[in-house]
């Protein structure tokens, strides 16, 4: 098969994260602006190369003050580090996939491994070939220099260290 290039369809994709607040509840956020591509030499995407960029200023938790804090130097420092980037390789493991590669947040790069489920491929009503992926994983925010924390009077932690990632990504064959 010839190399196929695919581009993320942002209108049919979403990037979410979840983090514990006070260790008793979960806050969910999204990134509203992102782009990416996939390059594959196989029909089943095994060995495909992925590139993905998130706009740090597009973080949205539905609370303006919290969003401003996340964009500040305490977390993403979006003015100095406007992009979060990832490049990885998709490898078939049984019926599903692993996506492994370096994630860069601020000036810190660490390899991450994400679980991927291929939803399938389909030709839409406009004749465009689409593929859908559900991607899940977890990172420790402190590994990426997102170390701001606060302890309550009772000794509880305000923000959990583990951040769950959930992406639903649809790509269009270029």
Q: What per-residue confidence (pLDDT) applies to 152?
A: 62
Q: What per-residue confidence (pLDDT) applies to 117?
A: 97
Q: How far apart are CA 133 and CA 140, in angstroms?
A: 23
pTM, two decimals, is 0.92
Query: Cα dist. 165→112, 123, 139 in Å?
Result: 11, 28, 8
What are the structure tokens assigned to 114, written together? 């994400």
Q: How far apart are CA 122 and CA 78, in angstroms?
A: 37
Q: What per-residue confidence (pLDDT) applies to 160?
A: 84
pLDDT in tens, 33-55: 999 999 999 999 999 999 999 99
pLDDT in tens, 146-169: 888 766 665 556 688 899 999 999
Q: How far apart are CA 44 and CA 172, in angstroms?
A: 15
Q: Is 54 exposed, middle or buried (0-12, 13-18, 19+ CB in 10 A)?
A: buried
Q: What is the pLDDT along the chain (174 residues), one digit of tens a residue?
A: 689 999 999 999 999 999 987 777 899 999 999 999 999 999 999 999 999 999 999 999 999 999 999 999 999 999 999 999 999 999 999 999 999 999 999 999 999 999 999 999 999 999 999 999 999 999 999 999 888 876 666 555 668 889 999 999 999 999
Domains of the chain and CATH, by start: 4-173 (2.40.128.110)
Query: Cα dist. 145→22, 36, 119, 173 in Å?
Result: 20, 24, 34, 36
Q: What per-residue confidence (pLDDT) applies to 155?
A: 58
Do residues 48 and 89 make contact, with C-beta atoms less than 8 angstroms apart?
Answer: yes
Q: What per-residue confidence (pLDDT) applies to 24?
A: 73
What are the structure tokens assigned to 37, written together? 């591509």
What are the structure tokens assigned to 9, written together? 């369809």
CA-only gyration radius of the chain, Å: 17
Tell me the sheet residues that pair with 88.
Answer: 50
């Amino acid at each position: 098969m010839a190399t196929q290039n695919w581009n993320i369809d942002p209108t049919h994709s979403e990037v979410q994260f979840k983090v514990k607040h006070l260790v008793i509840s979960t806050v969910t956020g999204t990134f509203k602006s992102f782009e990416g591509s996939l390059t594959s030499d196989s029909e089943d995407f095994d060995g495909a190369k992925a590139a993905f960029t998130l706009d740090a200023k597009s973080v949205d938790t539905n609370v303006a003050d919290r969003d401003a804090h996340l964009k500040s130097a305490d977390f993403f420092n979006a003015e100095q580090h406007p992009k979060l980037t990832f490049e990885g390789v998709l490898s078939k493991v049984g019926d599903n996939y692993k996506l492994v590669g370096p994630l860069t947040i601020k000036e810190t790069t660490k390899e991450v491994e994400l679980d991927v489920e291929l939803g399938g491929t389909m030709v839409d009503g406009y004749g465009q070939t689409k593929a859908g992926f559900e991607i899940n994983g977890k990172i420790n925010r402190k590994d990426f220099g997102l170390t701001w924390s606060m302890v309550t009077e009772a000794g509880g932690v305000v923000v959990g260290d583990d951040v769950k990632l959930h992406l639903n990504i649809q790509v269009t064959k270029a």
